Amino acid sequence: MTKRLTAILLGLALCLCPGCKPKPKEISPLQRKQAASLASEAEFAVTLRDFARAEGLYQQATALCPDAPEYWESLGVIRRRMNHLDEARAALRQAIEAHANRYKLEKNPGDLLQQAWILALLGRDDDAISLMKKAAVAHPDDSRIRAATDPKWLDRLHSDPAFKEISL
């Protein structure tokens, strides 16, 4: 009896340890296609300025593919346009996380640039600058990264009327 109880407790301890994360759910190709279709429909709703419909569609797309930062970004921007600021911030934070996760897998400097852009949208300029400095070390030959390390990059970004419209 005590051996059995010890084995159960040991098993629980191993499952609850901080290093043990549940394996993320696999996203099927069908789910990715469905999410892409929803995002496409959402983009059409945005052209019609039907932001409420677009929000719902992007929300469905992020539920199907939570690892797709583009859907989170779009959801955050739509929520900003609808003046749902807390929800917009939450979606944009998810986009940063998704870009960071994808960068870990693919090492695409575009993911770092997008993270910096979103950080600037959120008013976290210091974090954006810090990220671009690290990106410049990791990708010294990337012209887009070099341009983003220019101190005036954020000034140009913040002076852009389209950026101002969606920044938080």
Residue ranges of alpha helices (H) inside 17-82 are 29-47, 51-64, 69-81
Tell me the mean pLDDT in the region 70-83: 97
Q: Which residues contact 27 (CB under 8 A, 6 or more apart)?
A: 64, 65, 67
User: pLDDT by residue (tens digit) across 103-127?
Assistant: 999 999 999 999 999 999 999 999 9
User: What is 76-105 written as a DSSP string?
Assistant: HHHHHHTT-HHHHHHHHHHHHHHHHHHHHH
Q: Quick one: what percent of the chain has pLDDT higher than 90?
A: 81
Contact predicate 102/108, CB 8 Å: yes
Predicted confidence at residue 151, as pLDDT, reads 80
CATH architecture, domain defined by 29-106:
Alpha Horseshoe (1.25)
Q: What's the pTM?
A: 0.82
Predicted confidence at residue 1, as pLDDT, reads 52
Q: How far apart are CA 136 and CA 96, in angstroms?
A: 18
Tell me the mean pLDDT in the region 85-100: 97
Q: For the chain, what are the domain ranges? A: 29-106, 107-168
Computed over every residue of the chain, the mean pLDDT equals 88
User: pLDDT by residue (tens digit) across 18-67?
Assistant: 445 445 579 999 999 999 999 999 999 999 999 999 999 999 999 999 99
Q: How far apart are CA 92 and CA 155, in angstroms?
A: 21
Using pLDDT thresholds of 50, 70 and 90, give the confidence band for residue 166: very high
